[in-house]
C-alpha cells in the first residue's frame, strides 16, 4: 500500500508541464534524449514552422513569463465542503466555490477537464477603479489566505489598479493570462468562452485570447448597446460594451452546435404580418409599408430588423446577396446568367459569379426564392423566408438598456454593476443545451447562476453551474454592509437562494423537477501536513509523521480532497456504509471506497470487498487513512485481503 505523500501526483492538482511533455513525447519520441528535450532535434522535426528571426510578431508585456509559469504550477490546496452554507447539499449538482479563482481553476483541472460547455465571465474591466487580483507567484495559496484574513490578523486589502500605474495594462494581463490558460483546459472540445469587457482592455483581451485559443477559434464579438452613454467620457461617449466569443475548437463547435437565437422574436414578426394581412384582406403597398414601419420601431436585437418585407404569398422575408463569397474565382457553373422574368433579358451578375451552382439557382428560381428588380438592370437577390429560418446566428448587435435594479431589490441583492440577467440569458441560450455545465469564475453577485436557473425553468434543460468568487470584504460604507453582509460571497449565495425560492413560488410545476440548489466549497490549504525534514522542525515533523491530518479537519474535508486529487466530480453521489464497525464512504457507485477510521482490521477489508462485489463497479479504488492501521502487519494483511478480491489500487493518506 503506497502512501500519498507530498511528492505523489495525487497530493496536488494537475501538473500541466508534465502532461505537456508527455503529449510531446507521444508526438515526437525522437526529440527526447536521456529524459530531456533536444531542442535542436525539435527544430529539425518542425522544419520551416520554426521562426528563428529576432524580430517577429508577438504579444508580450512585463511579467508574462511569471504569469505563464504560475499557470503551470500545481496547487497543493484543497476545497473544503460547507454543507451548512449550501442548499440541497445531498442532491444538487451545482457548485459555488469561495476562493481565489486562480487556485480554484488549478484544483478543478482533474475533476472537470473537458467537461465544461461554456465559460461565461465578466472580469474586472481595468477602469482604474477595479480590484485586480494581486498574485504572489512564490506561493499564491498563502497569498490568498492572507488576502482574505485567514492567516494574518491584519490581513491585506485588495487594491485598485490605478490607470496612473506604469504597469497598468501589464497588471491586468498578468491576472488574466494564467486564469484563461487554465480555463481553456476545462472546456469541452465543442465548448465556448464568452467574456464581457469594455474599451479599456478589449484590444488586449482579444490578443490574449488569440494567443491562448488561436485566432482561428475567434467566433466574433457582440456589441452590447446599453443605451446609456458613460458620463465621464472625454472623447467618444461610449454607451456599449463588447462580449467576445472564442471556441475551444471552431470546427468541433460548429459541428455540434447550432449557435442559434430563440424563436420568440421570429414568432412575433410572423404574427404581426398575419394580423395585418387579415385586417386588410389582401396584400398591398399599405400593408408592406405599415409592416416595415412596425419592424423599424421594434426593440429587436439586430438581425430580425432585416425581415421587413412581405411577398405576394404573405411570406415574411429578407433579401440576401447571392454573390460568390470567396477570394478565389468561382467555377464556370456558378456564372450562368439569370434571365429577368418580365424583360427576358440577362440580369447583372456578381463579378465572381453566384454563391450557388446553376442547379441550385434553378431550384431557387422554381421555388420563387429569387428577387428580381423592375427590369434587368438590377442584380437579383435571394429571398430568405423567416418561417424557414426561425433560428439564426446570434446577432452582432445586442440592444438592451436599463438594469436589473428593481429585480435585485426584490431579491435583496445589493451589488455594484452586476451583469443584466436577460443579457446573460441571451448569451447562454444559443450555446448550451440539456445538462451542460456553465462556469463563471468571476461570479460577483452570481448573475450567471441566476440566468441558468431561470433558463432551466423556461426550457426545462437543467443546465448546471459552477460559480467561483473571491470572498472580498465589503466596505463598511457600502449599503450591503448595513444589511449585514461582510463578504461579496455572502451576497452571491443569498441571491442564488432567493432566486431559487422565487422560481419555486412562481413556477411550482416546472421548478419541482429541476436542480435549484448548490454545494458550497471553500478554498483552503491541504488537510494533510507536508513532511519537511528540516533540523529546526525535526521534533514537530516526527509528530506530524504520526498524526498527519491537520487539527480541525473533518472526515468530509479529507473525503473531498481525495475526490479532487483523484479527479472525480465533486457532485458524484456519496453514500455511507458501516462495515465491521467502521464508516466507509461509497463514491460514484463503488468507483471509490474511502475509509478514514482508526484501528482498521482485516474484517473491515473483508466488508469493503463484499461491498465492492455487491456494487460491481468497472473499477474500484480504495483509500485509507495511513495512521488508521495498528501496525505494519495489519496494513499488510488488509492489502492481501483486498487483493484476493481483485482490488489492486489501494492507497493511504
Q: What is the mean pLDDT of residues 94-122?
A: 96
pLDDT value for 18: 78
Q: How many whole angstroms separate alpha carbon 238 and alpha carbon 422?
A: 21
**Residue 535: is its pLDDT beyond 60?**
no
Helix (H) or strand (E) holding 153: none
Alpha carbon of 233 to those of 27, 228, 236, 407: distances in Å? 52, 12, 6, 28
β pairing state of 381-385 and 32-33: unpaired
Q: pLDDT above 90 covers what percent of the chain?
A: 56
Report d(CA 593, CA 589) in Å as an integer.
9
pLDDT of res. 19: 78
> Are the C-beta atoms of residues 405 and 416 closer than 8 Å to each other?
no
Predicted pLDDT at 22: 81
Q: What is the largest CA-CA distance in the chain?
A: 102
Average pLDDT score, the chain:
86
Q: What is the pLDDT of residue 543?
A: 47
The mean per-residue pLDDT over the stretch 364-380 comes to 94
Q: Higher-confidence residue: 555 or 419?
A: 555
Query: In the prediction, which pLDDT does 5 show?
Result: 64
Range in 50-54, 243-247, 474-478, 574-578 the model is least confident about: 50-54
Model pLDDT for residues 174-195, shown as the tens digit of each residue: 999 999 999 999 999 999 999 9
**260-291 residue pLDDT tens:** 555 677 888 999 999 999 988 889 999 999 99
pLDDT at 165: 61
Position 497 pLDDT exceeds 90: yes
pLDDT for the residue 439:
98
pLDDT at 262: 55
Alpha helix stretches (DSSP H) within 233-329: 250-256, 264-280, 285-297
Q: pLDDT band at 130, cuts 50/70/90?
A: low
Give the HSE-up count for residue 266: Cα atoms under 13 Å, Cβ half-sphere: 18
Q: E strands within 527-599?
A: 574-579, 582-587, 592-595
Strand order in the sheet with 621-624: 2-3, 649-652, 621-624, 592-595, 582-587, 574-579
**Separation CA 419–CA 123 (nearest Å):** 11
Q: Average pLDDT of 538-559?
A: 73
pLDDT at position 533 is 45
pLDDT at 612: 94
Question: How confident is the model at residue 511, as a pLDDT?
Answer: 92
Residue 398 has pLDDT above 80, yes or no: no
Residues 6+ away with beta carbon under 8 Å from 262:
391, 426, 429, 430
Query: Over 80: is that where the pLDDT of 313 sits?
Result: yes
**pLDDT value at position 653?**
85
Question: So what's the pLDDT on residue 233?
Answer: 56
Residues 431-441 have pLDDT tens digits of 999 999 999 99
- Per-residue pLDDT, averaged over 511-529, amounts to 93
Average confidence (pLDDT) over 358-362: 94
Average pLDDT for 208-217: 95
Portion of the chain with pLDDT greater than 70, in percent: 84
Residue pointed to by grid coordinates 476545497: 79
Alpha helices by DSSP H, 187-263: 202-213, 250-256
Contact 531, 11 (CB under 8 A): no
Residue 213: pLDDT band by 50, 70, 90 thresholds? very high
**Contacts of residue 325, Cβ cutoff 8 Å, sequence gap at least 6:** 355
Q: At what angle do helices 168-186 and 202-213 cross, to 10 degrees?
A: 40
Helix or strand or coil: residue 397? strand
- Domain 69-94+114-261+395-523 fold is Rossmann fold (3.40.50)
pLDDT at 176: 95
110 vs 14: CA distance, rounded Å:
6
Residues 382-395 have pLDDT tens digits of 999 998 877 656 66
Spatial distance between the Cα atoms of 523 and 107, rounded to a whole number of angstroms: 9
- The pLDDT assigned to 152 comes to 45
Mean pLDDT, residues 200-205 taken together: 93
Banded model confidence at residue 204, pLDDT cuts 50, 70, 90: very high
519 pLDDT tier (thresholds 50, 70, 90): very high
What residues contact residue 454 under an 8 Å CB cut-off, 6+ apart?
421, 425, 499, 503
Instruction: Supply the Cα-derived Rg of the chain in whole angstroms.
Output: 30
The whole-angstrom separation of Cα 567 and Cα 222 is 35
Q: Smallest Cα–Cα separation from 64: which of 161, 157, 167, 139?
A: 167
- In angstroms, the CA 543 to CA 548 distance is 8
| Residue 301 pLDDT | 57
Cell numbers standing for residue 373:
428588380
Report pLDDT digits (tens) over 6-37: 666 666 677 777 778 888 888 778 788 777 88
**Residue extents of the structural domains in the chain:** 2-54, 69-94+114-261+395-523, 264-388, 572-652
Distance (Å, rounded) from C-alpha 585 to C-alpha 595? Answer: 6
Amino acid at each position: 500500500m503506497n502512501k500519498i505523500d507530498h511528492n505523489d501526483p495525487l497530493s496536488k492538482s494537475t501538473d500541466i508541464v508534465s502532461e505537456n511533455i508527455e503529449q510531446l513525447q507521444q508526438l515526437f519520441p525522437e526529440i527526447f534524449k536521456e529524459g530531456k528535450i533536444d531542442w535542436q532535434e525539435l527544430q529539425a522535426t518542425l522544419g520551416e514552422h520554426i521562426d528563428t528571426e529576432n524580430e517577429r510578431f508577438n504579444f508580450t508585456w512585463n511579467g508574462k513569463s511569471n504569469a505563464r509559469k504560475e499557470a503551470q504550477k500545481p496547487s497543493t490546496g484543497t476545497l473544503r465542503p460547507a454543507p451548512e452554507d449550501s442548499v440541497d447539499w445531498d442532491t444538487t449538482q451545482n457548485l459555488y466555490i469561495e476562493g481565489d479563482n486562480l487556485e480554484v481553476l488549478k484544483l478543478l483541472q482533474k475533476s472537470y477537464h473537458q467537461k465544461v460547455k461554456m465559460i461565461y465571465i465578466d472580469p474586472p474591466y481595468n477602469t482604474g477603479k477595479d480590484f485586480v487580483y494581486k498574485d504572489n507567484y512564490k506561493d499564491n495559496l498563502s497569498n490568498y489566505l492572507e488576502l482574505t484574513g485567514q492567516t494574518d490578523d491584519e490581513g491585506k486589502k485588495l487594491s485598485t489598479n490605478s490607470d496612473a500605474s506604469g504597469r497598468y495594462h501589464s497588471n491586468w494581463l498578468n491576472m488574466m493570462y494564467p486564469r484563461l490558460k487554465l480555463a481553456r483546459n476545462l472546456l469541452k472540445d465543442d465548448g465556448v468562452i464568452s467574456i464581457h469587457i469594455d474599451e479599456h482592455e478589449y484590444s488586449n483581451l482579444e490578443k490574449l485570447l488569440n494567443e491562448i485559443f488561436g485566432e482561428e477559434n475567434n467566433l466574433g464579438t457582440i456589441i452590447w448597446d446599453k443605451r446609456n452613454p458613460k458620463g465621464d467620457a472625454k472623447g467618444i461617449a461610449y454607451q456599449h460594451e463588447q462580449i467576445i466569443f472564442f471556441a475551444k475548437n471552431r470546427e468541433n463547435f460548429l459541428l455540434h452546435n447550432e449557435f442559434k437565437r430563440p424563436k420568440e422574436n421570429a414568432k412575433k414578426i410572423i404574427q404581426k404580418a398575419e394580423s395585418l394581412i387579415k385586417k386588410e384582406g389582401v396584400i398591398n403597398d399599405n400593408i408592406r409599408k405599415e409592416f416595415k414601419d412596425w419592424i423599424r420601431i421594434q426593440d429587436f436585437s439586430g438581425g430580425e430588423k432585416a425581415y421587413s418585407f412581405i411577398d405576394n404569398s404573405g411570406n415574411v422575408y429578407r433579401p440576401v446577396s447571392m454573390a460568390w463569397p470567396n477570394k478565389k474565382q468561382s467555377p464556370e457553373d456558378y456564372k450562368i446568367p439569370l434571365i429577368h422574368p418580365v424583360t427576358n433579358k440577362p440580369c447583372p451578375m456578381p463579378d465572381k459569379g453566384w454563391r450557388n451552382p446553376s442547379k441550385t439557382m434553378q431550384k431557387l428560381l422554381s421555388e420563387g426564392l429569387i428577387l428580381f428588380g423592375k427590369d434587368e438592370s438590377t442584380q437579383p437577390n435571394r429571398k430568405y423566408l423567416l418561417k424557414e429560418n426561425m433560428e439564426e446566428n446570434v446577432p452582432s448587435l445586442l440592444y438592451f438598456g436599463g438594469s436589473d435594479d428593481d429585480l435585485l431589490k426584490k431579491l435583496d441583492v445589493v451589488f455594484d454593476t452586476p451583469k443584466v440577467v436577460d443579457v446573460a440569458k441571451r448569451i447562454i441560450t444559443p450555446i448550451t443545451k440539456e445538462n451542460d455545465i456553465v462556469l463563471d469564475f468571476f461570479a460577483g453577485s452570481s448573475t450567471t447562476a441566476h440566468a441558468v436557473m431561470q433558463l432551466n425553468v423556461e426550457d426545462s434543460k437543467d443546465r448546471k453551474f459552477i460559480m467561483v468568487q473571491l470572498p472580498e470584504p465589503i466596505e463598511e460604507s457600502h449599503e450591503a454592509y448595513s444589511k449585514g453582509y461582510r463578504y461579496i460571497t455572502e451576497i452571491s449565495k443569498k441571491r442564488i437562494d432567493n432566486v431559487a425560492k422565487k422560481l419555486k413560488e412562481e413556477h411550482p410545476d416546472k421548478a419541482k423537477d429541476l436542480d435549484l440548489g448548490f454545494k458550497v466549497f471553500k478554498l483552503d490549504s491541504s488537510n494533510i501536513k507536508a513532511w519537511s525534514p528540516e533540523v529546526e522542525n525535526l521534533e514537530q515533523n516526527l509528530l506530524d509523521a504520526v498524526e498527519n491530518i491537520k487539527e480541525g479537519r473533518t472526515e468530509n474535508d479529507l473525503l473531498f480532497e481525495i475526490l479532487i486529487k483523484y479527479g472525480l466530480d465533486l457532485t458524484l453521489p456519496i453514500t455511507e456504509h458501516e462495515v465491521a464497525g467502521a464508516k466507509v464512504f461509497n463514491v460514484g457507485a463503488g468507483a471509490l471506497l474511502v475509509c478514514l477510521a482508526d484501528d482498521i482490521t482485516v474484517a473491515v477489508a473483508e466488508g469493503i470487498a463484499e461491498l465492492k462485489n455487491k456494487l460491481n463497479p468497472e473499477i474500484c479504488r480504495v483509500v485509507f487513512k495511513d495512521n488508521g492501521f495498528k501496525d505494519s502487519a495489519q496494513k499488510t494483511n488488509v492489502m492481501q485481503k483486498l487483493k484476493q478480491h481483485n482490488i489492486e489500487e489501494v492507497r493511504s493518506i
